[in-house]
Amino acid sequence: MKFGTMKPHRRNRLLLALFLVVGAGGATTFALLALNENINLFYSPEQIVSGEAPTGKTIRAGGMVLAGSVVRSETDLGVSFRISDLQSAEVTVAYEGILPDLFREGQGIVARGELNDKGVFVADEVLAKHDENYMPPEVADAIAEAHADATADATIVNETLAPVGQATDDKLSGVREG
Amino acid sequence: MIPEFGHFSLLLAFGLSIALTVLPALGVYRSDQLLMRTGPSLAAGIFMFLLFSFFCLMESFLADDFSVTYVANNSNSALPVQYKVSAIWGAHEGSFLLWTLISAGWTLAVAFFSGSLTADMKARVLAVLGFLNVGFLAFLLFASNPFERSLPFHPQDGADLNPLLQDFGLIVHPPMLYMGYVGFAVPFALAIATLTTGRLDAAWARWSRPWTNAAWAFLTIGITLGSWWAYYELGWGGWWFWDAVENASFMPWLVGTALIHSLAASEKRGVFKSWTVLLAIATFSLSLLGAFLVRSGVLTSVHAFAVDPTRGLFILVFLVMIVGSSLTLFAVKASGIKSDARFEWTSREAMLLTNNLLLVVSTAAVLLGTLYPLIYEVITDGDKISVGPPYFNAVFVPITLLLFTVMIVAPFSRWRKTPVKRLIQDHWPWLAIGPIAVIAGALVTGASREPLALFIQTIAVLIFLLLVKHWLVTVKSGWKVPSASYLGMILGHLGILVAILGVVITVYDSDGRDVRMAPGDQVELGGYQFTFRELAKVQGPNYVSDQALFDVQRDGNPVTVLKPEKRFYSVARNVMTEADLDPGLFRDLYIALGEPVGDDAWAVRVHVKPFVRWIWFGGLLIALGGFVTLADRRYRRERARATVAAGVTA
């Protein structure tokens, strides 16, 4: 049966079905494309230090803010601080604007922004949770992973290079004081 | 003893819920009128025991009984009394008690305000609601008991309520939101009950409409209040963040909006019946999904309660059970449902279908963005991502614009077929006024001339003009008093356009800056001069604060004095920003203190936000529209008729 000679309601139904298929397909494609462009991957300090994180692309980074690392500008709202996985990796974060209320040294934070070619993370947004006992899950994982790596390394390293564990302990206690 | 009474009372409510699930259903099965009629008294019992339990928790808070773990974690003897009451729903356990109480309240309402339901239907609906109450109460009793004690050693004083929650917003936002979430259980129960009988008729749609409208109106208020609260309390001037938990409340709202429209078509024309049932199931399922997302901690969100995998698992199992069984029932029963009403492309049916498709597609897009971090983590084995607001804006805005465009003309369409030519002849001058008015307005006020902004404003103005015309035509054509349903529709659509205008103008014409300011400094923004006069120390009941005084002037004339604060809550050891704002119909002035940055200087955020209030005003209008429809005579007449019929058979 030719399309033109179909009964009107059948033709309508076919058109509706076609419209739905095309519409749904188009919407899905569009949504997935938009999604692909706007997902922000999380990188731990260790991954950033080792060069796994891309530069010039919006990503997220997180860790504990190191005690004594917050440096403010004297003329504007620029601020920089270092985040760490409490083992060896540290990343400097630069931010311009108002930090959240729960931002403080020793607090786990997550920042969204771009890594520049000097290895500084330039943040557009810094998030600290509303609950001070809460650790962002990404940060908790990063710290746990780094800790696991460090303990694994330590069994080999400890005999020759004792100071590695020492340095980590200092950092931890510094964090606690903060 | 009081917490034990509360706990015991929950157990009794649990027992009665099981009875409510079983007895009326058994009555239907055996055609036993007596068993079928047990529903209302059981529903009343559940509600009374839950209410009593709720008062017990309230008394524990008011009496500072810190041996109750939940009270100790969320209150303090210095907490002002109104927050001691609202602290009941300040964290997971108590808020779920409120949720369950509200669920019992809706069940009771169905039992006593459903005169038009046949005894058989009523028994079925109450059984479904009873089952939901069993689930909620089981969760409360076995995974989130608010009455648990930490004996014999308990803290001398409480850890205090999270300072963010010590606000009017917490008092009103969660109850309204839960009224909406749980309210959607009623159309869900009606849909399931109807599916079990296999008779989806116009009566079922007519029963569902007022309940759906009421729940939807409450949810609208809840979301609106949430947005307003975020704006002044934690948002730093933002009003929507596409946060996972915001999305969790927005998705049932979107599908609920589709449901409202689809119910209209099902009632009036008998079309889309199985689709409407599916929407009723989806709306409630999304409400439960929202509860799961908030309470399981699977997503990173500012709202999330403490992480507890057991609780997450419990809700997930319940959710899967509800969705699975209702979809199975749907698959078995809905295949037989047929509607033979025909309609053309230009008909109101087609318009409502378009509305539904667009709303469902936008819900799917929001759902995808919300759950994608979870999916991604599973498929990449642990890689963590976040989906930012750009995704949601990119996907949601175009779909919504399409929806709003349809909204301009849809109220004029007729059932079956719309005479398009005549419609265009009647309306083209009105359609022409819109763009002219918007462009003239932008030129005169100096507002943004971005094409997209002008386009969206044009849509809003056109919606307004045509609503006015529709109103005039309707009133002139002889209805002295338009029906409440019609009035509700007008108000609801009016609310949407007010909200659209608020959003567009706020987004395109706001002025905001973060600046470093010391006393004596001045900043100029949007035609206003903000001068930092001085900083003072203020002592509150459970906090101390740094309060800044800002003189705001316009062209040398004083406008207002704003007093933003930085509070330090001594018990919770939390720092809190209390922004201060000067609200206005056409603009808000907003100042928030950041942190001290040395030499008396503070980081300060200053905003001038035109029309921002229209967003929430629009939301309230939409909700008002929903409530107004409840007064429609048709629903009452139906009840009167049913009462008469019952009288005759008796």
**Bridge partners, B529 (sequence order):** B524, B553
A window 21-80, beta carbon within 8 A of B? 23-24, 27, 30-31, 34-35, 37-42, 58, 60, 72, 74-77
Please say whether the beta carbons of B129 and B110 come within 8 A: yes
Please say whether the beta carbons of A34 and B395 come within 8 A: yes
**Do B363 and B442 sit in the same domain of this protein?**
no
**Do B122 and B233 sit in the same domain of this protein?**
no
The arrangement of strands across the sheet holding B580-582 comes to B511-517, B601-610, B587-598, B580-582
Write a three-state SS string for B32-84.
CHHHHCHHHHHHHHHHHHHHHHHHHHHHHHHCCCCCEHHHHHHCCCCCCHHHH
**Do B533 and B621 sit in the same domain of this protein?**
no
**Do B466 and B456 sit in the same domain of this protein?**
yes
For residue A101, the distance in angstroms to the closest alpha carbon of chain B comes to 6
Please, what's the b/e burial string for B256-286 (b: 16 or more CB within 10 A of its CB; e: otherwise)? bbbbbbbbbbbbbbbbbbbbbbbbbbbbbbb
Higher local confidence (pLDDT), B310 or A160: B310
**Do B619 and B607 sit in the same domain of this protein?**
no
In 3D space, the residue among B52, B48, B74, B75 whose CA is nearest the CA of residue B3 turns out to be: B52
In-domain check, residue B8: yes
| Nearest CB to B386 within list A24, A40, A130 | A40
pLDDT single digits (tens) A119-145: 899 999 888 765 545 566 677 777 777
B382 to chain A: which residues are within 8 Å by CB? 141
**Do B155 and B84 sit in the same domain of this protein?**
yes
**Do B579 and B620 sit in the same domain of this protein?**
no
Cβ contact B597–A72 (<8 Å): yes
pLDDT single digits (tens) B632-641: 877 765 554 5
In-domain check, residue B188: no
In-domain check, residue B55: yes
| Nearest CB to B514 within list A34, A98, A138 | A98
Alpha carbon B88 to its chain's center: 20
B395 to chain A: which residues are within 8 Å by CB? 30-31, 34
Cβ contact A39–B385 (<8 Å): yes
Rounded Cα distance between B362 and B397, Å, is 9
Higher local confidence (pLDDT), A97 or B236: A97
Q: Scanning the structure block, which residue is given the tokens 């001085």?
A: B534
**Do B447 and B324 sit in the same domain of this protein?**
no
ipTM exceeds 0.85, yes or no: no
Cβ contact B603–A77 (<8 Å): yes
In-domain check, residue B347: yes
Please say whether the beta carbons of B528 and B587 come within 8 A: no
pLDDT of residue B301: 58
**Do B27 and B109 sit in the same domain of this protein?**
yes
In degrees and rounded to multiples of 5, residue B136 shows phi and psi of -65, -45
Indicate the pLDDT class of residue A107, thresholds 50, 70 and 90.
Answer: confident
Please say whether the beta carbons of B103 and B54 come within 8 A: no
pLDDT of residue B503: 95
Domain count, chain B: 4
Cβ contact B575–A102 (<8 Å): yes
pLDDT of A57 higher than 70: yes
Cβ contact B390–A37 (<8 Å): yes
Rounded Cα distance between B99 and B179, Å, is 8
| Nearest CB to A31 within list B302, B376, B395 | B395
> What value does the CA radius of gyration of chain A take, rounded to a whole number of Å?
25
Nearby residues of B556 by Cβ (< 8 Å), 6 or more positions away? none
Q: Is A10 on the interface with B (CB under 8 A)?
A: no
Nearby residues of B496 by Cβ (< 8 Å), 6 or more positions away? B404, B407, B463, B618, B622
| Nearest CB to B598 within list A39, A58, A74 | A74
For residue B345, the distance in angstroms to the closest alpha carbon of chain A comes to 8
pLDDT of residue A6: 63
Please say whether the beta carbons of B386 and B373 come within 8 A: yes
Which H or E run includes A81? strand A78-84
Q: Scanning the structure block, which residue is given the tokens 């891309």?
A: A54
| Nearest CB to B383 within list A41, A97, A130 | A41
In-domain check, residue B136: yes
- Boundaries of domain holding B5: 1-166
Q: Where is the domain boundary, B146, B166, B186?
A: B166
E strands, B543-600, are 543-554, 557-562, 565-569, 574-578, 580-582, 587-598
Pairing of strands A121-127, A90-96: parallel
- Total CB pairs under 8 A between chain A and B: 106
pLDDT lower than 70: segments of chain B: 235, 297, 299-308, 336-341, 478-480, 636-650
Cβ contact B164–A130 (<8 Å): yes
Higher local confidence (pLDDT), B59 or A6: B59
In-domain check, residue B123: yes
Torsion angle defined by CA atoms of residues B453, B456, B459 and B460, in that order, rounded to the nearest 10 degrees: -90
**CA dist list (Å): B12 to B6, B9, B44, B570:** 10, 5, 12, 40
Structural tokens at position B444: 């005169």
**Do B6 and B127 sit in the same domain of this protein?**
yes
Q: Where is the domain boundary, B396, B418, B440?
A: B418
DSSP-derived secondary structure for A84-122? E-SSS-EEEEEEESPPPTT--TT-EEEEEEEE-TTS-EE
pLDDT of residue A176: 30
- Among A98, A103, A107, the strongest candidate for a mutation testing the B interface, having the largest count of B CBs within 10 A, is A98
| Nearest CB to A27 within list B344, B361, B516 | B361
pLDDT of residue B418: 81
Question: CB B241: neighbour CB atoms within 10 A?
Answer: 17
Please say whether the beta carbons of A94 and A121 come within 8 A: yes
Q: Where is the domain boundary, B418, B450, B472?
A: B418
Structural tokens at position B144: 């989130």
* B111 three-class SS: helix
Q: Quick one: DSSP state of residue A66?
A: P
**Do B313 and B440 sit in the same domain of this protein?**
no
Q: Is A117 on the interface with B (CB under 8 A)?
A: no
In-domain check, residue B230: yes
**Do B159 and B266 sit in the same domain of this protein?**
no
In-domain check, residue B193: no
